[in-house]
Amino acid sequence: MSNQVIKASPSIKTAIFSWLTKMLFQWVVLCIPMLVIFHYICPEIVGLLALKLLLNSTLVAFAVTGLMMFGRITLNNEGLSYENKLLLQKAFIPWKEMIFGKPFPITLEKHYAISRRGGGATIKIWPSLNNYSAIKKCFEDHQIFLETGQIATPKNQFRPLDEVISEALK
């Protein structure tokens, strides 16, 4: 493994998938149930309400997707980091403390959620990120396989008893 630093940022394809996912989620969870309820309460305003909900959910999805586009992922010998200067977000996960978290269930593009063992921030890796092939190769160099969600560990890996007990109590 070399001392290289790999940086990645969201691509236009990432933005489109993210925006579509946010729109789908808002309509399934919020807008459609609200329209159904108002259809029984006051059916004459359902058309106007649907138009307003469409406009508002589109604006919210654009705003959140736009903010997401300022995020940057960096990989180096120490681990994986995420930074979004606009939202003042930072996260760092060392290679030895990585586990696969559960991705968001409603997505149009399958992403990989990388979490820190014991809790903490989750960093999402999208296949449509710029420089994704270099990210994937770097993970494989550290024996972490994104597509299968597996982390290779030595066969006889022992952890201190204190660590095992504290993890079990969480």
The pLDDT tens digits of the residues spanning 20-50 come to: 888 888 888 888 999 999 999 989 999 999 9
- Confidence class for position 152, pLDDT limits 50, 70, 90: confident
- Confidence class for position 170, pLDDT limits 50, 70, 90: confident
Task: Give the separation between CA 133 and CA 75, rounded to whole angstroms.
Answer: 13
- In sequence order, the β-bridge partners of residue 94 are 79
The pLDDT tens digits of the residues spanning 63-104 come to: 988 888 898 998 988 888 899 888 888 889 888 888 887 777
pTM over 0.75: no
Q: Which of 83, 119, 89 is nearest to 101 (CA)?
A: 119
The secondary structure of 57-126, three-state, reads HHHHHHHHHHHHCCEEEEECCCEEEEEECCCCEEEEEEHHHEEECCCCCCCCCCCEEEEECCCCCEEEEC
